[in-house]
Amino acid sequence: MNYQYQIDWGGGYENVYPDFYEIEGREDTEWWFEATKETGCLRARILFGGNEIEERTYKLMKKVIETKYIGPGNVRGTRIKATTEKESVTIPYDHSLNLAENHETAAEALRQKLAWKGEFIIRGEPLPSGGMVFILSD
């Protein structure tokens, strides 16, 4: 059986590989959890044989924006919607940009609306739902 390392940046757990964090042969997991905390992730966990042996949830307050594609309807054209827990903004799809650039434009529009400072530390990470997540530093 093998260890499995996973990190959640806001869109659900994703596998990361041991050589990425240079954890081959290490038995102490504490340093790995400290290293993952520095990436700005929300949670990290280690599994063995498919069973969770340890999980950490970081109490860092991150500013998270999720974006989603909205197809055209009878009245309105294609749009991208950016949302937080309490606010949202919807912008028309700019056909001179690609899909990822449209998502980033919507995230930036919501960031400006909320007057959020900081830099995007996660920019356009795909979500299982088909949208994207953007996370800003504090």
Q: For 76-114, what is each residue's pLDDT tens digit?
A: 999 999 998 889 999 999 999 999 999 999 999 999 999
Mean pLDDT of 22-37: 59
- Judge whether 128 and 13 are in contact, CB under 8 Å: no
| pLDDT category of residue 20 using cuts at 50, 70 and 90 | very low
List the chain domain ranges. 3-57, 63-136
Q: Is the dihedral of CA 67, 68, 73, 78 positive or negative?
A: positive
